[in-house]
């Protein structure tokens, strides 16, 4: 490999193996803490049509809102703060803002606001923050985290007033937002509807795409072998293969066909067919949890395939990856996780970010 390629930053890949029935399994925590997701892909070998149970779960996914030119301070005014943000389950992400160049804003379901700001905006705003992890020699970006559930952020208090007036008068940040709220089935969205009525917005349903693949070479997987030591491919090889399937790249090229070729890792099997089902939008963790639970029930009845896969991609320009861990773009904004679910309820979990991000939990 050339020295130039050797110096190119690597990504970070964390792998876990456990069983969904294990009381110490942390799969639910990992899903719930990956807040901002734009794409979910289900890959089911030896399957041609989406099962009814999965179809029902996907149809129940929450709609989301695209709100135009929404001032950030509107999301922290007293009524909205008390009735929506502090009650939990509220997700907001600034739309089409770049974390390496623009001011980006996120509201987490835990009641926290994350501001990733350029140096000028940070200094004008006057709020306490910390330099971004992705600065070089001189700090050019800063991250401000405000926890509205903290007792010191009581509405009317000095700290709250400082944040509100800073965003309302000192630096009135305004941008398009993606908003969603986990619905508990109760009538508690009056404040959200009241806010939406003041601005131009769209209600959007997640988009769905289905594709049935024919004669697909696939790696041989063994539940007990996450690291590829017992005749199955290692995690990097598997994810590379899965990515090629999602991108429609042929996996059966011979070495002499092209300058650049890709071949399915050995040892391999051949599937007569496979279902690739994709959902895109502003997808909240609660819906993904429901989908993962339904996928666990897929093997309740005998199936030809011993495994299936669920891949979840986060927004490349989200200011966080897992929890409040800062996310950096660098070159491609890697920010995803993948479950490989086996019929005995074992699973592999792969979590990946860019080279400069913190290690996934």
pLDDT tens digits, one per residue of 236-281: 888 988 988 888 877 665 555 555 567 787 777 888 999 999 999 9
Q: Same domain for 341 and 229?
A: yes
What does the alpha-carbon distance between residue 321 and residue 118 come to, in Å, rounded to a whole number? 19
The answer to the question of residue 358 being in a domain is no
H helix or E strand, kind and range, residue 346: strand 346-353
Give the structural domain span for 190: 64-204
Q: Same domain for 192 and 289?
A: no
Instruction: Count up the domains in the chain and report the number.
Output: 2
> For residues 34 and 271, which has the higher predicted lDDT (pLDDT)?
34
- Reading phi first (left if > 0) and then psi (alpha if -120 to 50, else beta), residue 177 is in beta
Q: Same domain for 168 and 221?
A: no
State the pLDDT at residue 1.
44
Instruction: Among 185, 204, 223, give the residue marking a domain's end.
Output: 204
Q: Same domain for 20 and 42?
A: yes
Mean pLDDT calculated for residue range 200-204: 97
pLDDT(292) > 50? yes
Q: Same domain for 54 and 74?
A: no
Q: Same domain for 181 and 293?
A: no
The answer to the question of residue 318 being in a domain is yes
What average pLDDT does the chain have? 89
Q: Same domain for 219 and 173?
A: no
Q: Same domain for 198 and 266?
A: no
Instruction: Among 204, 233, 250, give the residue marking a domain's end.
Output: 204
Query: What angle do helix axes 285-296 and 52-59 make, rounded to 10 degrees?
Result: 170
User: How many other CB atoms are found less than 10 A from the CB of residue 96?
Assistant: 10
Buried b (16+ CB within 10 A) or exposed e, 211-247: eebeebbbbebebebbebeeebbbbeebbbbbeebbe
Helix residue spans in 60-199 (DSSP H): 78-80, 119-125, 158-165, 190-196
User: How many other CB atoms are found less than 10 A from the CB of residue 119?
Assistant: 15
Helices vs strands, H then E, count in the chain: 9, 15
**pTM as predicted:** 0.91
Q: Same domain for 241 and 151?
A: no
Terminal Cα distance for the chain, rounded: 31
Mean pLDDT calculated for residue range 285-312: 95
The answer to the question of residue 304 being in a domain is yes
Phi, psi of 283 (to 5 degrees): -105, 125
The answer to the question of residue 123 being in a domain is yes
Instruction: Among 204, 232, 249, give the residue marking a domain's end.
Output: 204
The answer to the question of residue 52 being in a domain is yes
């Amino acid at each position: 490999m050339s020295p130039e390629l050797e110096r190119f930053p690597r990504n970070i890949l964390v792998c876990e193996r456990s069983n969904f029935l294990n009381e110490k399994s942390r799969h639910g925590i990992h899903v719930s803490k990956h807040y901002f997701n734009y794409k979910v892909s289900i890959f089911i070998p030896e399957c041609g049509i989406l099962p009814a149970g999965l179809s029902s779960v996907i149809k129940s996914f929450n709609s989301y809102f695209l709100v135009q030119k929404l001032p950030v301070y509107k999301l922290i005014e007293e009524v909205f703060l008390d009735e929506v943000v502090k009650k939990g389950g509220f997700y907001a992400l600034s739309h089409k803002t770049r974390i390496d160049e623009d001011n980006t804003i996120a509201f987490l379901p835990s009641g926290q606001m994350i501001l990733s700001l350029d140096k000028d905006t940070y200094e004008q705003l006057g709020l306490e923050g910390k330099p971004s992890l992705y600065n070089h020699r001189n700090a050019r970006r800063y991250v401000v985290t405000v926890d509205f559930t903290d007792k010191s952020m009581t509405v009317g208090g000095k700290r709250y007033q400082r944040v509100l007036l800073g965003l309302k008068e000192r630096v009135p940040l305004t941008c398009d937002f993606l908003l969603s709220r986990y619905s508990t089935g109760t009538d508690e969205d009056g404040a959200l509807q009241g806010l939406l009525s003041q601005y131009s917005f769209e209600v959007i349903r997640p988009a769905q795409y289905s594709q049935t693949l024919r004669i697909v070479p696939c790696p041989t997987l063994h539940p007990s072998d996450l690291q590829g030591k017992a005749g199955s491919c290692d995690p990097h090889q598997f994810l590379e293969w899965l990515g090629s399937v999602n991108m429609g790249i042929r996996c059966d090229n011979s070495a002499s066909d092209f300058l650049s070729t890709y071949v399915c890792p050995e040892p391999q099997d051949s599937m007569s067919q496979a279902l690739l089902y994709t959902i895109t939008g502003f997808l909240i963790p609660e819906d993904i949890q429901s989908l993962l639970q339904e996928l666990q029930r897929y093997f309740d009845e005998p199936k030809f395939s011993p495994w299936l896969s669920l891949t979840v991609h986060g927004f490349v320009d989200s200011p966080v990856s897992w929890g409040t861990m800062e996310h950096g773009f660098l070159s491609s904004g890697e920010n995803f996780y993948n479950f490989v679910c086996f019929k005995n309820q074992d699973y592999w979990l792969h979590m990946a970010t860019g080279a400069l991000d913190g290690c996934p939990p």
